[in-house]
Structure 1
Amino acid sequence: MRLFLNDFRHCSNVFITRQFSLSYRNSNLFQSLYNHFQYGKKAKKLALERGIDLNNLTPEQRIKLQSVIQLKKTFRVVNVVMALMAITGTVIWFRRRQSRIEINKEINEEFQPIWMDLKYFKEKCALIKNYLLPEQIIGKLNEIEHFQFNSNDCICASFPKSGTTLIQEIVYLIQTNFDYESAKKIDISERFAFIEWPTVKLQKFPQNQQRFFKTHLPPTFFNESFTKAKIVYVYRNPKDVTVSLFHFLRSINIELTYSGPWNQFVRSFLIDEVYYAPWWRHVNDYYAMNDTICCISYEDLLRDFRGSVRRLAKYLGKEKELTEEQLDKLEKWCSFDSMKNNPKVNYDWFKDWGFVKKSFSFLRKGQIGDWLNHFDVQQSKEYDQMVSTRLSPLIPPFNYGISQEDQQKLYDFDAKRQT
């Protein structure tokens, strides 16, 4: 029972899957209850075969079978507890099922989703407002659309695996006047509310205090109050995004996992069939707000940390508080090695919860140009084509960790090798 309660505590996501499963991994509450009942029935039968009536024992039998009697009493308590757990589980399942039915009805009426099964992706997706969203978050869209932001709020937005955690830590420390003590004590997932995550109840966050949010949703899913908040959008070159996202989705055990090969994932990214796609529209939509929000590239954060932080601090209205000494400490605190070894930001607790494989590393490499170890020439050219034809010309050229001249040399070399 203790093990079950521990699993129950750490797997609230189990109850929000579309199967409405009451199982955790391979265990089933009702099967366990049935097996327990059968075991007790078998034990009673064996006792009767030996001429022992457990309900009508002689004084001598009571002395000899004292331990068995105690065990019988224990079984009764366990039976009651397991029955109560089964009833509770059934009630939870039913209520969540009814809630999901109502939510799906609202979603279907308001957003008219087009449901899709993506190749090698475990989670079903819905095409809504020209974006492909995982089923897990669809039920939150109505709540998000009506949620009110204010000028005290700070939102870190990004396409997945674009430098979200790094920008969160920087923003949090700047906004809290470099409160490293709280950053040491509180997990980043608690400091920032993940807006679209199913278990996050947005209405629980009071408006009269500073609130920190993160999201991967495009701006089209928010109401007009969204722009009242301080919005920091971090973006990254699409080749490194693809590599990082591929390794992440292959490492997780929850519904969002991807089980296919690398080449298929590249193809899926190019045809806009990954979570939160299209990537290019995601970047375009946020960059179109560049006059009122702060857009910053992950590559700039790595290559010109101090300059990028100064620009960010100015946007947040904290440039006067930013000293050289603070910059020195912040740069060291937010270095890749420091972040990777920081238990409050590296998400190693996912391993304890069973969300990811034991080999999982949320902060994998944190470098520019890792795509060179994965892409072939044709794939690289297709990404170049996507960027040149679909991305807004207002967006500065990406840093791919290799110069355009050297990249072209690689293309030319490959062309000669093919002839």
Structure 2
Amino acid sequence: MEDPESILFKFKGYYFYKLRLNIDFLENLEDFEIREDDVFIITYPKSGTIWFQQILSLIYFEEHRKRTANLNTVDQVPFLEYYSKKIDFAERPSPRLFSTHLPYYLFPSGAKNKKPKIIYVYRNPKDVVCSYYYFFKNVILKITGSFEEFFEQFLEGKVVGSLWFDHIKGWYEQKSHFNIQFMMYEEIKKDLRGSILKVCKFLGKELSDEDIDSVVAQAMFENMKSDPRANYDIIMQSDGVPKKGHFLRKGTIGDWKNHMTVEQNERFDKIFQREMKDFPLKFIWDMNDE
């Protein structure tokens, strides 16, 4: 497998992806000026980021919802730390929408006073590690290493996003300092319409039933996968790295069962129970779980 250090950049104990990272911006991120009406999607990688970029774009932009303009979601809900186009975020009109993988301690400090709306989307970590493996295998590096090797890297936190357990626990433990709504990937998958209504309520956005229907239809995974505005394939092409897969792969619940051995699953469960003891957020591991 590729040496993780070849693509990782470590900053204040957290691993970033070297490509597209603006180091100067990162070093001054603490002082990034937050607005009260800013909206942030926060995720650990492979937890529904692109999906929520599409959902927010559909909620906020009528021209996106009605397909009257060809606007990419990555431009409408740009990554705070990875946005590669030369653009001044300070010039963007309000409300500004952002996505980020930042841990709570690297997030701009102004968020604690201005209280922008933050949506933290989390996904069961077994599916995260499987999705992540295929993302690196087919999209980023075309790695030749095995799932077993990547599984170890994930558990050691030697991936973009560092340790999954630290990321979600950190944000949850600091939730009283932020205006934050936690959303479970699996619940969104099971009840997309109900989840979108919940998001709209949190954001203070009132849409007609017709508009909600449009958001739901266009936010369905298979529809997104074929939508060039939302599927990120254009971003892959611009990196100049040969790819053999798509940015969006399956988006399913329980795919980990097709990849983890019994031993890996038992080991993961043991670590999860130790690290997440008494953690109050619910997790769904299988499509049939309630």
Q: TM-score of the superposition, structure 2-length normalised?
A: 0.86
Alignment of 1:11-410 (within 5 A): 119=3, 122-126=6-10, 128=12, 130-136=13-19, 137=21, 139=23, 140-176=25-61, 179-181=64-66, 184-197=69-82, 199-200=84-85, 203-206=88-91, 208-227=93-112, 228-253=115-140, 258-290=143-175, 292-318=179-205, 321-353=206-238, 355-391=240-276, 393-401=278-286
Measure how far apart 1:135 and its partner are. Answer: 4.4
> In structure 2, what residue type is equivalent to 1:126?
K
Query: Does the C-alpha gap of structure 1 residues 124 and 167 become closer, same or farther in structure 2, counting only changes over 3 Å?
Result: closer
Measure how far apart 1:386 and its partner are. Answer: 2.4
Which blocks of at least 5 consecutive residues in structure 1 are unaligned? 1-117, 405-419
Contact 2:42 2:118 in 1 (8 A): yes
Measure how far apart 1:205 and its partner are. Answer: 3.3
Aligned partners of 1:350, 1:159: CA distance in 2, in Å?
19
Measure how far apart 1:226 and its partner are. Answer: 2.4
- 1:137-166 deviation digits (Å, cap 9, x = unpaired): 371321212111101211111111101111
Aligned partners of 1:196, 1:258: CA distance in 2, in Å?
25
Query: Does the C-alpha gap of structure 1 residues 347 and 124 become closer, same or farther in structure 2, counting only changes over 3 Å?
Result: closer
Measure how far apart 1:265 and its partner are. Answer: 0.5
Aligned partners of 2:150, 2:50: CA distance in 1, in Å?
23
Query: Does the C-alpha gap of structure 1 residues 197 and 309 become closer, same or farther in structure 2, counting only changes over 3 Å?
Result: same
> In structure 2, what residue type is equivalent to 1:285?
G
Aligned partners of 1:150, 1:303: CA distance in 2, in Å?
33
Contact 1:150 1:207 in 2 (8 A): no
Rg larger in structure: 1
Measure how far apart 1:401 and its partner are. Answer: 1.2
Contact 2:29 2:107 in 1 (8 A): yes
Query: Does the C-alpha gap of structure 1 residues 395 and 138 become closer, same or farther in structure 2, counting only changes over 3 Å?
Result: farther
Q: Quick one: higher RCO (CA 8 Å, sep 6+), 1 or 2?
A: 2
Query: Does the C-alpha gap of structure 1 residues 325 and 167 become closer, same or farther in structure 2, counting only changes over 3 Å?
Result: same
Query: Does the C-alpha gap of structure 1 residues 224 and 201 become closer, same or farther in structure 2, counting only changes over 3 Å?
Result: farther
Measure how far apart 1:378 and its partner are. Answer: 1.2
Aligned partners of 2:258, 2:272: CA distance in 1, in Å?
20
Contact 1:159 1:235 in 2 (8 A): yes
Query: Does the C-alpha gap of structure 1 residues 232 and 242 become closer, same or farther in structure 2, counting only changes over 3 Å?
Result: same
Contact 2:7 2:18 in 1 (8 A): yes
Query: Does the C-alpha gap of structure 1 residues 403 and 337 become closer, same or farther in structure 2, counting only changes over 3 Å?
Result: closer
Measure how far apart 1:182 and its partner are. Answer: 6.0
Aligned partners of 2:171, 2:207: CA distance in 1, in Å?
27
> In structure 2, what residue type is equivalent to 1:273?
K
Query: Does the C-alpha gap of structure 1 residues 204 and 147 become closer, same or farther in structure 2, counting only changes over 3 Å?
Result: same
Q: TM-score of the superposition, structure 1-length normalised?
A: 0.61
Contact 1:340 1:363 in 2 (8 A): yes
Aligned partners of 1:144, 1:200: CA distance in 2, in Å?
17
Query: Does the C-alpha gap of structure 1 residues 361 and 383 become closer, same or farther in structure 2, counting only changes over 3 Å?
Result: same
Aligned partners of 1:326, 1:181: CA distance in 2, in Å?
9
Contact 2:47 2:123 in 1 (8 A): yes
> In structure 2, what residue type is equivalent to 1:199?
S
Aligned partners of 1:391, 1:276: CA distance in 2, in Å?
18
Measure how far apart 1:121 and its partner are. Answer: 5.3
> In structure 1, what residue type is equivalent to 2:117?
K
Aligned partners of 1:358, 1:126: CA distance in 2, in Å?
25
> In structure 2, what residue type is equivalent to 1:294?
Q
Measure how far apart 1:237 and its partner are. Answer: 0.5
- What CA RMSD, in Å, does the superposition of the two structures yield over aligned residues? 2.6
Query: Does the C-alpha gap of structure 1 residues 340 and 198 become closer, same or farther in structure 2, counting only changes over 3 Å?
Result: closer
Residue 401 of structure 1: SS of its match in structure 2?
Answer: coil
- 1:18 maps to what in 2? none
Contact 2:14 2:162 in 1 (8 A): yes
> In structure 2, what residue type is equivalent to 1:133?
F
Which blocks of at least 5 consecutive residues in structure 2 are unaligned? none
Alignment identity in percent?
Answer: 30
> In structure 2, what residue type is equivalent to 1:243?
C
Question: Between Structure 1 and Structure 2, which shows a larger proportion of helix residues?
Answer: 1
Residue 200 of structure 2: SS of its match in structure 1?
Answer: helix
